[in-house]
Homo-oligomer: A and B are copies of this chain.
Amino acid sequence: MNKKKIINDPLYGFIHIRSDLVFDIISHPWFQRLRNIKQLGVTDLVYPGAVHTRFQHALGAMSLMERVLDQLRFKGIEISDEEHEAARLAVLLHDIGHGPFSHALENSLLPGIRHESISYLLMNEMNDQLGGALDLALKIFRNSYSRRFFHQLVSSQLDIDRLDYLNRDCFFCGVEEGHIGVDRILLMLNVHKDQLVVQERGIYSIENFLNARRFMYWQVYLHKTTVAAERMLVNLIKRAQALLRAGEHVAGSPTLQRFLANSYTLDDLRTNRDVLHAFAALDDHDIWGAIKQWRYHDDRILSLLASMLIERRLFTIRLGQEPIRKSTVEAIRTAISAQYQTLRADASYLFAYGSVTNEAYTEGEKINILTRSGELLDIAQASDLPNIRALSKIVKKNYLCWPKDVSLKIAN
């Protein structure tokens, strides 16, 4: 069978599958599963177009990696065929460890476990299945390969992952301002002493990229309604966990129930293949399928949150720079307890507060500029304006969200 196939992509036109190995990995059930995990979780409740999946993103990232490596070769950087394929595989698989609603659920289903760690476990096992074909890809992924720029292309402040997701997310959301000049950025990349660098005349493109990313954070990723929906989802899952662990029946696929009933650690995933495999079977359908049934549960909090999410009756949210006062939190708890005639402890499921942060540029892991005279500079130093330094300031906002029908008079 001819496995050199072509896949249509709304952004890039065609994505080529260049080898049997790539084909086999894309066909792997763990990779196919990414078809059913939306890239942006609940964001489509705000931007209805944002229903694109992690499957598309992974393919897109592989495709960009191919282009950047071809460009680097054209510039005279030696890249062997093996390295070329390994780098494409590394980025193809870099997100394989994402579960459904990753950002929302990492605080409930798998507390404290980063998806990169799970990606590594899954890649490792795939590597075993494939007789070591992913050895080099794994090295690159783990940053243990001597030519560090490969890892930097997979994971850094200016990696292929970000280039694809920014481009893709703004495309599907219909948010033009997030648009970046991917082609020019790829053209400006180079390798200097095995480090990924940007040629000096590319600094405005990088600035543009950092600004676009910051824009997307405020306009999409941390959009206040998205934050509210995510908090509702977290509260809902926590309620389901509490009920289940208290012995109540809570509907859901066997896989989901397993993760609701247990608090697995990274160690569990590492040592118990069964748990890892179960995780690799979870997708959005498990979550939404369960929520749909929870609407009819006897527990009022569970059914209320489930209905609200399904029918998009989302929490009202205040998001801003003012701190959330303790007295406000207590006032809302009181109001909710009264409104829903629930215990004050249980009222916690019906509101949320906390903070979100946005850091467009992290000076620690810098983006290197290669000047015309051959020097390496951090971009925050190279730009002709203090804006990139400005962008590296962490911006923090505080939020408080609660059901729309709870009327709240807030002092400030």
- Give the CA-CA distance A219 to B208 in the complex, in Å: 12
User: Complex Cα distance A336/B384, Å?
Assistant: 32
Known A289-B289, A310-B32: A174·B52 in contact at CB below 8 Å: no
A222–B293 Cα distance when bound, in Å, is 34
- Copies held by the complex: 4
- The answer, among B11, B29, B172, for a CB contact under 8 Å with A310, is B29
Point out the residues of chain B lying under 8 angstroms from A47, CB to CB.
8
Q: Say yes or no: B215 contacts A208, CB within 8 Å.
A: yes
**Nearest-CB distance from A181 to chain B (Å)?**
4
Task: Select A53's contact among B51, B56, B59, B180, beta carbons within 8 Å.
Answer: B51
> Which residues of the other chain, B, contact A311 by a CB distance below 8 angstroms?
27, 29, 32
- Min Cβ gap A41→B in Å is 13
- On whether A48 and B44 interact (CB within 8 A), knowing A184-B177, A204-B215, A385-B395, the answer reads no
Bound together, the chains give a CA A356 to CA B91 distance in angstroms of: 40
Question: Which of A45, A187, A211 has the largest number of chain B CB atoms within 10 A?
Answer: A211
Given contacts A29-B311, A51-B53, contact A386 B395 (CB under 8 A): no
Point out the residues of chain B lying under 8 angstroms from A395, CB to CB. 384-385
**Quick check: B14 and A187 within 8 Å, CB to CB?**
yes
Complex interface: chain B residues within 8 A of A254 (CB): 293
User: Is the pair B391, A174 in contact by a Cβ cutoff of 8 Å?
Assistant: no
A145 at the interface (CB under 8 A from B): no
Is A276 part of the binding interface, using a Cβ–Cβ cutoff of 8 Å?
Answer: no
Chain A binding surface, main DSSP class: helix
Number of residues of chain A lying within 8 A (CB) of chain B: 70
| CA distance in complex: A281, B183 (Å) | 36
Residues of A within 8 A of B (CB): 6-11, 13-14, 27, 29, 32, 35-36, 44-45, 47-49, 51-53, 55-56, 59, 171-177, 179-181, 183-184, 187, 204-205, 207-208, 211-212, 215, 218-219, 253-254, 281, 283-286, 288-289, 292-293, 310-313, 321, 384-387, 390-391, 393, 395
17 additional A-B pairs beyond A8-B173, A207-B215, A285-B292, beta carbons within 8 Å, are A7-B48, A8-B175, A9-B174, A14-B187, A27-B312, A32-B311, A35-B45, A35-B48, A35-B312, A51-B51, A176-B183, A204-B218, A204-B219, A208-B211, A385-B393, A385-B395, A386-B393
